[in-house]
Amino acid sequence: MGSLIQNTVFGKSRYKINTYIGAVADVVKTPELLSTKLGISVNRIKFFRIIGNNLECSIIGGIYNFPHSSWLLSAISYYIDNDGLATNDTGRTFRSATSLQKIKLNGLKTIGDESLTNTSLIEISLPNVTTLKGGFGSFRINPYLKRVILPEATFSEWSYSGIDSCTSLEIVYIPKLAVLRSGGSAALNNFVFSGSKYGFKIYASPLAQTSYLGGVDKDIAWAIANRGAIVRYVTDFTKPENVTNLSVTSSYNTGFKLNFTPPNSVNGIDFYEVYANGIYQHDIKGPNDIVAGLEKNTNYDISIIAVDNFYNKSNFSNTTNVSTSNLDLDLDAQKFLDVSLNHDLGNIVNNLVTSLKNSGLWNKMYAIYPLIGNTPFQHKFNLKNPQDTNAAFRLVFNGSGNHSSNGYQTNGTNAYANTNIIVNSIHTFSNAGLTMVCGTNNTPVTTNSFDLGAQKKSTPWEAYQIHLNHGASKNNNIFVLGTIGISKTAINDARGIHTVSKTTDTEVKYFKNKNLDTVASGTQTGVIPPLNYYIGCLNNGGGPFGYSNQRIQFTAFHEGLTESEVQTFHSIIDTFENNLNRKTW
């Protein structure tokens, strides 16, 4: 009776739930089992209870350390330590806990070897960790990991790797860590960031500029040279002011457009974090950007945080309320809009997709590049499979072409896009089709300028290409599929919709603006190029050749189409370009 009185105040328990652990209750069924996992006495665990497959409890008696490998290979989905009681991690604690999506370990001072390796974490934020232990690093092989936030880390015992093989990495914040691998040799200076995403940002300590024999930390230097890492040495910790006039200007099915005045910041503003109902969504660059990935017909409270060039964060802005729309859009159209952030063109994209499906052409397309929006990011996605991977045939832009709402303006010198589509993986000698929309009638820089295609760099010159070299002295217009080519001198205006199609191995047809223009016949020889299609030039045996200077507004790679199918396809494209107000023919 005495203990009951001791632990209650006016009939209420003085214990509060401070520890939440997800998806483990089917295994960790009792306080005794949990005490073993945490390396503490069972008497320190109070109010142990199971809710679904999750458990929660109150841990009393002060701090504790995670035992080595305590959650190794576990199905755990989250670990939240609200009171910051876990202060030391001895290693491999959550290794290969592949379902782990969230941790809150604000009391942790030391993180052990491979403790957060091979999880599903998107962000690792350990605000009070000072020491990174282990020869193999702490955060390896996390395919979804975008951010590693270690504001107080000052010492690393890593001697081999660290944050390597994290292929989604965007931000590493280590403003006090001068040396990333204390025991590493120069021969292994690629291991901390090996396999990481190209172009991620490192917010580093100024001491890292001279920590390796008077030069830049070797792993940071490697990341700059080999991963295009953007490094900013943090010299000022002044937070930006808050955004105070946040509002919503447009609402879409799964997103909306924000408006606000950028706040004052001594270090400049880099981006803004967007929160919906208190949950982080993604970053935007500034006013009038689109927030995406929400549920349609749903109400949200929206706020943002300003982040400066040194990753200092403001407090939350004012909150504004918005309800997403409830339009009946095709699922493929909606997916493309969500990924490419082209929500303001929803009805136009929806009409394009539904028209292609209703006409039976959708399934004949391998890749479609509408080139809408005004950024390289918006232009790169394949309408048929809008994922940001090479396997989904996303465009990778090279050179200094211009991206605008009118399409992709090439420059005649170095601008082109790699489609990641290998010619012989989709096309054959008897079944192949290419379509391109050209919005300009520029005189080519040379007679050997190409707008789209690939060819083997030896005879016979098997080529799959569109070549609108109008007005030049030779090779005015060439449309080739395989070794059967069309050479024309009568086309004096490149503007319009162009399709080259083969439905047999002995004949190729060229169409312009719905009309069958020319038919060529011949005997097919050679092999189909095992090369990627390029847009804006020719992939000539594995490298760019003959840069175009036209504005390319739409491209598609498809099966060979019949004359009636081409006419239908051109009508759909014509409507699409007209709806975008960028039709020039």
Q: Compute the C-alpha angle 574/576/579, nearest 5°.
A: 105
User: Residues 6 or more apart from 73 whose CB is under 8 A from it?
Assistant: 95, 96, 97
pLDDT at position 155 over 70: yes
pLDDT band at 11 (very low <50, low <70, confident <90, very high): very low
Range in 136-140, 233-237, 544-548 the model is least confident about: 136-140
pLDDT at position 259 over 90: yes
Q: Are 498 and 466 within 8 A, CB to CB?
A: yes
The reply to whether omega before 460 is within 30° of 0 (cis) is yes
Amino acid at 305: I
From 416, 526, 523, select the one nearest 463 (Cα to Cα): 526
- Residue reference for tokens 């992939």: 539
Identify the pLDDT of residue 174.
98
User: Residues 6 or more apart from 431 whose CB is under 8 A from it?
Assistant: 502, 503, 559, 560
Query: For the chain, what is the largest distance between any 2 Cα atoms, rounded to a whole number of angstroms?
Result: 104
Q: Are 29 and 37 within 8 A, CB to CB?
A: no
**C-alpha separations of 235 from 150, 200, 310, 534 in Å:** 16, 20, 8, 43
Summarised one tens digit per residue, pLDDT across range 475-493 is 445 667 666 777 655 457 8
Q: Percentage of residues in the chain with pLDDT exceeding 70?
A: 92
User: Please, what is the angle between helix 563-579 and helix 346-358, to 10°?
Assistant: 170
pLDDT band at 269 (very low <50, low <70, confident <90, very high): very high
Rounded average pLDDT over 564-584 = 98
How many whole angstroms separate alpha carbon 413 and alpha carbon 443? 14
Identify the pLDDT of residue 4.
36
Amino acid at 367: A
Max mean pLDDT range (250-254, 391-395, 492-496): 391-395
Identify the pLDDT of residue 505.
86
Identify the pLDDT of residue 112.
94
Range in 157-166, 197-206, 240-249, 495-504 the model is least confident about: 157-166
User: Residues 6 or more apart from 541 whose CB is under 8 A from it?
Assistant: 455, 456, 457, 458, 531
pLDDT band at 24 (very low <50, low <70, confident <90, very high): very high
pLDDT at position 473 over 50: no
Radius of gyration, alpha carbons of the chain: 29
pLDDT at position 62 over 90: yes
Rounded average pLDDT over 70-94 = 96
Q: Are 451 and 436 within 8 A, CB to CB?
A: yes
Range in 7-11, 219-223, 357-361 the model is least confident about: 7-11
pLDDT at position 170 over 60: yes
Rounded average pLDDT over 404-422 = 97
Q: How far is CA 85 from the centre of its chain?
A: 36
Max mean pLDDT range (11-15, 338-342, 463-467, 522-526): 338-342
Hey, is 451 helix, strand or coil? coil
Rounded average pLDDT over 153-166 = 90
Summarised one tens digit per residue, pLDDT across range 177-199 is 999 987 655 555 667 898 788 89
Neighbours of 164 (CB within 10 A): 22
pLDDT band at 447 (very low <50, low <70, confident <90, very high): confident
Identify the pLDDT of residue 470.
57
pLDDT band at 474 (very low <50, low <70, confident <90, very high): very low
Q: Are 184 and 215 within 8 A, CB to CB?
A: no
How many whole angstroms separate alpha carbon 269 and alpha carbon 312? 9
How many whole angstroms separate alpha carbon 410 and alpha carbon 440? 11
Four-point Cα dihedral 25, 31, 35, 36, nearest 10: -60
Q: How would you classify the pairing of strands 230-233 and 201-204?
A: parallel
- Residue reference for tokens 């008497």: 43
Four-point Cα dihedral 419, 420, 423, 427, nearest 10: -80
Q: What's 274's DSSP letter? A: E
Phi/psi at 362 (5° precision)? -55, -45
Q: Are 119 and 141 within 8 A, CB to CB?
A: no
Instruction: Pull the structure tokens for residue 367.
Output: 């890749």
Instruction: Pull the structure tokens for residue 552.
Output: 């390319």
Identify the pLDDT of residue 426.
95
Q: 484-489: list long-range contacts, CB under 8 Å, 24+ apart.
A: 484/508, 484/520, 484/521, 484/522, 484/524, 485/520, 486/510, 486/518, 486/520, 488/517, 488/518
Rounded average pLDDT over 258-271 = 97
Helix%, strand%, coil% for the chain, nearest 5: 15, 30, 55
Q: Mean pLDDT of all residues in the chain? A: 91
Identify the pLDDT of residue 490.
47
